Amino acid sequence: MKKICIFSVLGVFLSVGAYAEMSLSLGVGAEVNNYSNKGIAVGLGGLADFRLNEMWSLGFRPMMNIDLGPDGFSVLEVSGNVRWYFLRFKNLLDYYFLWQRRFHLFVEADVGGAFAYTDVSSHLSFSDWIIGGTAGVRIAWERFYLEPYVRYAAVTQVVGVGVLFGVTIHQNEDPL
């Protein structure tokens, strides 16, 4: 009975919205984080994001993090995510109609793996799990977007601040 209730609630959340806004977005970006023993690290990566409807999307994010400190190691992160675009209710507030097409606030849950590469070992090895969250805003212009974000990975204790730039490949027309 519990499983039926959980899947029913999940189904209601996924179907919220008057229409589906299904789209696929691809982006590239950079991040500054603390994947370093002494200093900071820079991450370069991308995002593939499939928007299920107005409020929910599924994504895939690979990122290569390079330590700028004296240790000189790299970490490849590969994670999947579920993103919730909150404040996307059509009848939330009247003033929301003025900026809802441009600014899309979101939070997401990330799960994946981190793979470390060091100069000493000269091979890629599994390092740790990535379980964390990200918060940000997608600023859209026609089919292009800019996405500043902040993220935290709980297991690896990584905090990062970054920005993505991308394009929406396919999008249903907004009936408004």
Element (H, E) at 8: helix 2-14
The whole-chain average pLDDT of the chain stands at 80
Give pLDDT, residue 142: 83
| Per-residue model confidence as pLDDT tens digits over 4-59 | 544 444 444 444 443 456 889 999 999 999 888 778 899 999 999 999 987 899 99
Tokens of 41: 């690290």
Q: Which residue has the higher pLDDT, 2 or 146?
A: 146
Predicted pLDDT at 18: 37
pTM over 0.85: no
Query: In this structure, what are the phi and psi dihedrals at residue 133, rounded to the nearest 5 degrees?
Result: -145, 160
Query: What pLDDT, on a 0 to 100 scale, did the predictor assign at position 120?
Result: 60
Q: Considering the domain delimited by 2-171, tell me its CATH architecture.
A: Beta Barrel (2.40)
Count other Cβ atoms within 10 Å, centred on residue 63: 25
Residue ranges of domains in the chain:
2-171
* Structure tokens, 47: 């995002």
**By mean pLDDT, which of 33-37, 146-150, 163-167 is the weakest?**
33-37
Distance CA 134, CA 149 (A): 7
pLDDT confidence of residue 26: 96
pLDDT digits (tens, 9 = 90+) for 132-144: 999 999 998 888 9
Where are the strands (E) in 16-157, listed by range?
23-33, 41-51, 56-67, 74-84, 103-117, 124-141, 144-153
